[in-house]
């Protein structure tokens, strides 16, 4: 008598014992097994994966977008004064620093100021050439840079 015979005997005994209790419903249980596996294992797994990826997508790109678009609050110096980076448009009243190319404050539509990177003189952001040292700031708004027809307008069409 080897080990396989012993196992077979044990298995036969198990089947005989269990058949007494569960034989009438065994086929039904087998039939429901895929559904039970689906509900018990696959669905929680899928829910977990979906929730995880949702959280990942929701968290990752947001901080990046905030810093690239729209104003950010200027750093505060030791004397309580707002420190504005040179060459970037900013609003002194609201302490906001805007992306390059912005001309007006989103809060009150006031003209923004800009500090010349060369000589440190402040002026309004609308003027792109420094009146002190002549440095020209390239502050072209993105909407203008994307424009498809940068050439001269077709002449005579709208002339009155
Ligand atoms: Zn402002
Ligand atoms: Zn200057």
- The 3-state DSSP class for residue 129 equals strand
Confidence band (pLDDT; 50, 70, 90) for 141?
A: low
| Alpha carbon of 129 to ligand 2 centroid (Å) | 8
Confidence band (pLDDT; 50, 70, 90) for 30?
A: confident
DSSP letter at 40? I
How far apart (Å, rounded) are the C-alpha atoms in residues 50 and 72?
33
| Alpha carbon of 97 to ligand 1 centroid (Å) | 9
Model pTM above 0.75: no
| Alpha carbon of 83 to ligand 1 centroid (Å) | 15
From the CA of 95, the nearest ligand is 1
Q: For residues 43-61, give the mean pLDDT.
A: 85
């Amino acid at each position: 008598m080897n080990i396989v015979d012993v196992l077979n005997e044990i298995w036969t005994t198990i089947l005989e014992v269990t058949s007494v209790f569960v034989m009438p419903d065994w086929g039904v249980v087998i039939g429901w097994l895929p559904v039970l596996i689906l509900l018990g294992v696959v669905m929680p797994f899928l829910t977990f994966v979906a929730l995880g990826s949702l959280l990942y997508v929701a968290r990752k790109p947001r901080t990046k977008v905030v810093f690239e678009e729209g104003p950010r609050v200027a750093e505060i110096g030791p004397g309580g004064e707002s420190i504005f980076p040179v060459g970037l448009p900013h609003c002194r009243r609201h302490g906001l620093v805007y992306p390059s190319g912005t001309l007006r404050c989103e809060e009150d539509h006031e003209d923004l100021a800009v500090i010349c990177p060369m000589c440190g003189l402040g002026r309004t952001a609308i003027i792109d050439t420094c009146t002190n040292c002549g440095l020209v700031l390239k502050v072209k708004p993105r909407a203008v840079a994307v424009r498809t027809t940068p050439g001269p307008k077709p002449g005579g069409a709208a002339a009155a």
